[in-house]
């Protein structure tokens, strides 16, 4: 049995952190579903920037849409929706079989809106309506302003992948936004057709403290943060408030462990996948990590729901001068800026391709 199937059987969903038109056109994504137990997919501006800039697969669509004098942003969302609705249809059987727990794909609002609640909500509603797929999440960053948009989006019936979370505290704030949105839906007697995941980024923690802590702490911070957040997740699921939502027919907002590709060249290429085996969660991984895990992976012991030794490990980082609360805020801000840069790069790629391709017409 492949390690991917073993991990799936443990109760953790494996989602691909990638989307390209080639993955769809060649049948590779379908093969990952059939052979590697992949049950969902995520995307972000960086992924689309690389996909569009490095492939001619989008050129025909860009040429057609550019001739309609659309803005680069409008053109991009047309392209993204073409890909993601196709992917959503591939995962639809999983979505139906699991009654909405699994089988999702994700599309992000413009990262430039990370600190603009009203515009984020407006764009989220528009993209959700245009996609017309029950298993498509709209990704909204878990910034303070984003949390307002998330609550309103959930209340409006837009399923949300809360992105750019880095700590237990940020996760709990995102969970609170989801809870408020759902409780308002229950009070209003609305349908139970809304879902959510909360995406906590892992590997960036270890990148941030590389060469700043003793060697014995290398590549341990992200895992400790994941363990701490997993405990908070399980504690929250046990509360009467969450149980009331479940009894009303809503699925819990699942914890999603993101950024699980290994960045340290000295570490195992399946470091985070093995360490973060956690029932009732999602692990969304880059394509290279997925293939590596399928090839030579092994499933470690399930993460303890009580956090294991995470507090002792985090205390060691504290002694080494790492303030995890401050670093979490820094990582969220840096992550937002990084996605804006990728977004700007993506807009330039589309603008350049549009200019060249319209001359061919």
Summarize pLDDT for 177-212 with one digit per residue, the tens.
999 999 999 999 999 999 999 999 999 999 999 999
pLDDT grade for 289, boundaries at 50, 70 and 90:
very high
| Other CB atoms within 10 Å distance of the CB of residue 302 | 14
Answer yes or no: 139 catalytic.
yes
pLDDT score of 67? 80
136: three-class secondary structure by DSSP: strand
What sign has the CA pseudo-torsion 28, 356, 353, 61? negative
The answer, yes or no, to whether residue 24 has pLDDT greater than 90, is yes
Which residue(s) pair with 13 in the sheet? 282
pLDDT digits (tens, 9 = 90+) for 72-127: 999 999 999 999 999 999 999 999 999 999 999 999 999 999 999 999 999 999 99
27, pLDDT greater than 70: yes
C-alpha to C-alpha distances, 258 to 103, 107, 108, 205, nearest whole angstrom? 16, 15, 15, 12
Rounded-to-integer distance, Cα 204 and Cα 208, Å: 6
pLDDT, averaged across the chain: 95
Q: Does domain 3-203+248-300+334-360 have CATH number 3.20.20.70?
A: yes
Q: Pick the closest to residue 241 from 303, 191, 300, 178 (CA basis).
A: 178
Q: 160-165 and 196-201 as β-strands: parallel, antiparallel, unpaired?
A: parallel
Q: What confidence tens digit (pLDDT) does each residue in 270-281 have? A: 999 999 999 999
Query: Which residues does 200 contact at the CB level (< 8 Å), separation at least 6?
Result: 165, 166, 167, 170, 171, 225, 226, 229, 255, 256, 257, 258
Q: Is the dihedral of CA 58, 63, 68, 70 positive or negative?
A: positive
Provide the pLDDT for residue 136: 98
Q: Which helix (H) or strand (E) holds 102?
A: none
> Considering the chain, what percentage of its residues have pLDDT values greater than 70?
99
| CA 15, chain centre distance (Å) | 9
Q: Write down the H helix ranges in 217-323.
A: 221-237, 240-247, 271-275, 287-296, 310-319
Domain boundaries defined on the chain: 3-203+248-300+334-360
Residue 66 has pLDDT above 90, yes or no: no
Say what percent of the chain tops pLDDT 90: 92
Scanning 98-196, the segments in alpha helix (DSSP H) are 117-131, 144-155, 168-188
For strand 196-201 and strand 105-108, is the pairing parallel, antiparallel, or unpaired?
Answer: unpaired
* Rounded Cα gap, residues 205 and 212, in angstroms: 12
Beta strands in 245-289 (DSSP E): 254-258, 281-285
Range 349-353 average pLDDT: 92
Residue 147 pLDDT: 97
The residue from 30, 65, 99, 139 that is catalytic is 139
Residue at token pair 């700590």: 167
β partners of residue 140: 162
Return the ∠ at Cα 189 (arms to 183 and 190), rounded to 5°.
Answer: 85
Confidence of residue 360 (pLDDT cuts 50, 70, 90): low
State both tokens at 301: 């012991």
Other C-beta atoms closer than 10 Å to the C-beta of 340 total 16
Q: Are 276 and 202 in contact (CB under 8 A)?
A: yes
pLDDT at 65: 84
Rounded-to-integer distance, Cα 324 and Cα 321, Å: 9
- If you average pLDDT over each of 44-48, 60-64, 155-159, which comes out highest? 155-159
Across residues 116-141, what is the average pLDDT?
A: 97
Longest dimension (CA), the chain: 64
């Amino acid at each position: 049995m492949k390690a991917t199937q073993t991990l799936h059987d443990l109760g953790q969903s494996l989602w691909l952190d990638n989307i390209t038109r080639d993955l769809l056109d060649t049948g590779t994504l379908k093969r990952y579903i059939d052979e590697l137990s992949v049950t969902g997919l995520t995307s972000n501006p960086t992924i689309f920037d690389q996909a569009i800039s490095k492939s001619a697969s989008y050129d025909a669509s860009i040429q057609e849409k550019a001739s309609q004098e659309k803005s680069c942003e409008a053109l991009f969302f047309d392209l993204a929706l073409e890909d993601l609705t196709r992917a959503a249809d591939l995962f639809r059987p999983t979505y139906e079989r699991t009654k909405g727990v699994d089988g999702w794909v994700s599309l992000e609002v413009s990262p430039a809106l990370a600190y603009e609640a009203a515009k984020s909500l407006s764009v989220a509603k528009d993209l959700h309506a245009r996609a017309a797929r029950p298993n498509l999440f709209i990704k909204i960053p878990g910034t303070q302003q984003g949390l307002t948009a998330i609550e309103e989006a959930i209340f409006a019936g837009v399923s949300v992948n809360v992105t750019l979370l880095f700590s237990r505290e940020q996760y709990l704030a995102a969970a609170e936004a989801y809870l408020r949105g759902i409780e308002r839906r229950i009070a209003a007697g609305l349908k139970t057709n809304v879902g959510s995941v909360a995406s906590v980024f892992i590997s960036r923690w270890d990148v941030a403290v590389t060469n700043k802590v003793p060697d014995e702490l290398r590549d341990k911070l992200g895992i400790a943060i994941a363990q701490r957040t997993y405990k908070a997740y399980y504690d929250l699921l046990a509360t009467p408030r969450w149980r009331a939502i479940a009894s009303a027919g809503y699925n819990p907002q699942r914890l999603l462990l993101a950024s699980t590709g290994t960045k340290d060249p000295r570490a195992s290429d399946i470091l985070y996948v093995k360490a973060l085996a956690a029932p009732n969660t999602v692990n969304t991984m880059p394509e290279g990590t997925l293939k590596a895990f399928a090839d030579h992976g092994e499933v470690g012991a399930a993460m303890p729901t009580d956090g294991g030794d995470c507090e002792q490990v985090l205390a060691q980082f504290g002694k080494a001068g790492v303030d995890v609360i401050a670093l979490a805020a820094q990582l969220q801000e840096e992550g937002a800026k990084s996605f804006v840069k990728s977004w700007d790069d993506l807009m330039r790629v589309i603008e350049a391709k549009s200019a060249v391709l319209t001359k061919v017409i």
